[in-house]
Structure 1
Amino acid sequence: MAVLLGNHRCMTKSSPVRVLVARLDSDGDVLLTGPAVRAAAVGLRGRPTEVTLLASPAGAQAARLLPGVDHVLTWSSPWIAAQPPPVRRADLAALALRLARRRFDAALLPTSFHQSALPLALLLRLVGVRFIAAISADYPGSLLDVRLRPGVDFDDDAPEPERALALARAAGFTLPPDDDGALRVTPPPAVSHLVEPPYVVVHPGATAPARAWSPGRCAGAVEALSAAGHRVVVTGSPNERALTALVAGRSGLDLGGRTTFPELAGVLAGADAVVVGNTGPAHLAAAVGTPVVSLFSPVVPASRWAPYAVPSVLLGDQSAACRDTRARTCPVPGHPCLDSVTPAAVVAAVGELAGVAA
């Protein structure tokens, strides 16, 4: 921390420490970084902080909901994005100029286990950031001031929020005693014009098809939940309208494409429970404290990516052949890890969770 506190930029006790937190993947990943962002926002040895979150276009809307974020910068990273843009000198030069103008004192790079923080660390060094902390399995040379090694400095199977918090702590940023480290977003808007409680949400879509329950199973669950006495709301993005219409059928209220991201948070906040795959809205539900029935495909480990710090029921075969493959499209015919789950199992899980406060 001496490097940070001795930064060349003239600082007084009242001047903020300018901190960059970079999370360059999706909305769900950004939400999981929220507790670390709040730690950075608390301040540093009596000095206030000003936190900027560098997010991808796929994560910016979540970044704007995180408590503690003062500014959001958006950039698509060629080494992080699932559909990466080509590497262009002009793009990197433009990003470098934007970062240099902000004159950051410190940067936190809380990447996931399959990502490298070092390309961004190099760019940050070149624009004058003197204190950089990151998680890195690879030797960083002079690129990092604080390096956390997965499996050495922390449990590599730790939940993603705890992984990011470990990095923040190592850099000198800690949550206050009254912050339990759960996921949070700023208070969502009222959504009474869309739906009134009580209801259960079914969110059938996922950015990776391997993580989605089949549409027919989702539709069957909506019918079964309705038959069990639940009012069912089906949510989805504008490009999922055909899917949500199919899943809602005649039994559910179709809100596909009808909510902004903050409004989606409001709809999830009002639900008794949310039925969703391992995708961004599962973490948004956790961030508003709503219990989650998690249809969890084991292509990534549940120990890292399951709904965090809320009551949840995990459904799906966690020992299936697709386990830990990180496949985006199911490699096994019939999608057995999720399609082995029945609508009746979902009804039972909702019955277990409905009305349970986080």
Structure 2
Amino acid sequence: MKRVVVARQDNLGDVLLAGPAIRAIAAQAEHVTLLAGPHGAAAGELLPGVDEVQVFRAPWIDPDPPPLTRPSVEALAEQLTGFDAAFVFTSFHQSPLPLALVLRMAGVPWIGAICDDYPGSLLDLRHRVPGDPPEALRMLSLAQVAGCSLPFGDDGRLAVRRPLPDVSALTGIGDYVVVHPTASVPARSPSPVHSGRIVDALTEAGHRVVVTGAKPEGMTADVDLSGRTTLPELAAVLAGAEVVVAPNTGPAHLAAAVGTPVVSLFAPVVPAARWAPFGVPAALLGDQHAPCRGSRARTCPVPGHPCLDGIDPAEVVAAVAELAKRPSRQATA
């Protein structure tokens, strides 16, 4: 393969989880272009093996989809002309076939995807994945059945390009724990009040707390970096932390990609087996048998948000203490 386009068109975390598959493909290709959506493109810039990132907001993927128009499809087909092969990565509830159709319009001679639906002549490789494996391994399996293996010495975990920027002026001196309290999907975030209780408990336990993401009103922290970092800077902040405390959100996967242990405040609206932090020591907190289980709800359907707001802050403190003792890839690299 010379020129390959790899598509993952949803969010930051989804793109990071495609990293091992992309590295396997890059080991067999001369040039790899990532086709990302606007929410995940910045993560693509961090991935080893990606030579170029192109952006298209897919009406069949984006949570706030734009209209599908003939000019936009024709422009995308023109953009995709000249590639020798394409891998279309999608989540289990998304279809690769709309993009496969456009790739065929662009004249791409070989297309592979994970697909349960009958693809007709849209796919050359229709791969099926039974069960509920971690998403990173699910995507890697498509690359592997296409003959793309990870290079020698690649451990198959998530990774980002190095070096990362120096953020010591942002984080200050001394050990710290990062709390990233929010997710793009409200159902996956603890309430602002409960997030504040978790930060207070960590502070009372003697931890220096750095808050990233969107800090809820009224929350106090030793260092407030909410809205103040680029994605590479956020990666560096997470890399320097003893532990990251976060819900099921892109920065939790970014923490895994830099080798930092994660206390995952995980709402069971999607399966933890697939979406929990991959490849690093992690503690999974939250009621995984709550009534919202498997609902894919974006707003919590249960009054009081018990699956996350029922987490005792003392549990978080204990999990942080346990994970801080364990060597991570970051510590041993």
Query: Does the TM-score normalized on the shorter chain lie above 0.5?
Result: yes
SS of the aligned residue for 1:194 comes to: helix
Match of 1:288 among 258, 268, 278: 258
Asked if residue 64 in structure 1 is aligned to residue 40 in structure 2, the reply is no
Question: How far does residue 95 in structure 1 lie from its aligned partner after superposition?
Answer: 1.1
Q: Deviations over 1:140-195 (max 9, x none)?
A: 111111111232xxxx3000000110000111111023111100011221101101
1:65 touches 1:185 (CA, 8 Å); kept in 2? yes
Match of 1:185 among 160, 175, 188: 160
Residue 23 of structure 2 corresponds to: 38
- Distance in 2, matches of 1:49 and 1:305, equals 31
- Distance in 2, matches of 1:184 and 1:262, equals 12
Residue 322 of structure 2 corresponds to: 352
Residue 162 of structure 1 corresponds to: 137
Match of 1:219 among 192, 196, 199: 196
Asked if residue 99 in structure 1 is aligned to residue 80 in structure 2, the reply is yes
SS of the aligned residue for 1:283 comes to: helix
1:104 touches 1:129 (CA, 8 Å); kept in 2? yes
Asked if residue 122 in structure 1 is aligned to residue 107 in structure 2, the reply is no
Identity of aligned pairs, percent?
61
Matches within 5 A, 1:325-336: 325-336=295-306
SS of the aligned residue for 2:232 comes to: helix
Match of 2:218 among 243, 246, 259: 246
How many residues were matched structurally? 326
The one-letter code sitting in structure 2 at the alignment partner of 1:166 is S
Q: Deviations over 1:107-139 (max 9, x none)?
A: 011211000000100110111101100000001
Match of 2:124 among 129, 139, 145: 145
Structure 1: gaps of 5 or more residues? 1-15
Residue 331 of structure 2 corresponds to: none
The one-letter code sitting in structure 1 at the alignment partner of 2:207 is H
Residue 233 of structure 1 corresponds to: 210
Q: Deviations over 1:4-38 (max 9, x none)?
A: xxxxxxxxxxxx61011000000000000000000
Residue 24 of structure 1 corresponds to: 9
Asked if residue 303 in structure 1 is aligned to residue 278 in structure 2, the reply is no
- Distance in 1, matches of 2:46 and 2:129, equals 28
Q: Deviations over 1:79-125 (max 9, x none)?
A: 1111111111111111111111xx10000112110000001001101
SS of the aligned residue for 2:226 comes to: coil
The one-letter code sitting in structure 2 at the alignment partner of 1:192 is S
1:289 touches 1:357 (CA, 8 Å); kept in 2? no
Structure 1 outlier segments of 4+, above 4 Å: none
Structure 2: gaps of 5 or more residues? 329-333
Aligned-pair Cα RMSD in Å = 1.1
1:290 touches 1:310 (CA, 8 Å); kept in 2? yes
SS of the aligned residue for 2:3 comes to: strand
The one-letter code sitting in structure 1 at the alignment partner of 2:133 is A
Asked if residue 199 in structure 1 is aligned to residue 179 in structure 2, the reply is no
Alignment TM-score, normalising by the size of structure 1: 0.89
Alignment TM-score, normalising by the size of structure 2: 0.96
Question: How far does residue 355 in structure 1 lie from its aligned partner after superposition?
Answer: 4.1
Most deviating of 188-197 and 62-71: 188-197
- Distance in 2, matches of 1:301 and 1:90, equals 37
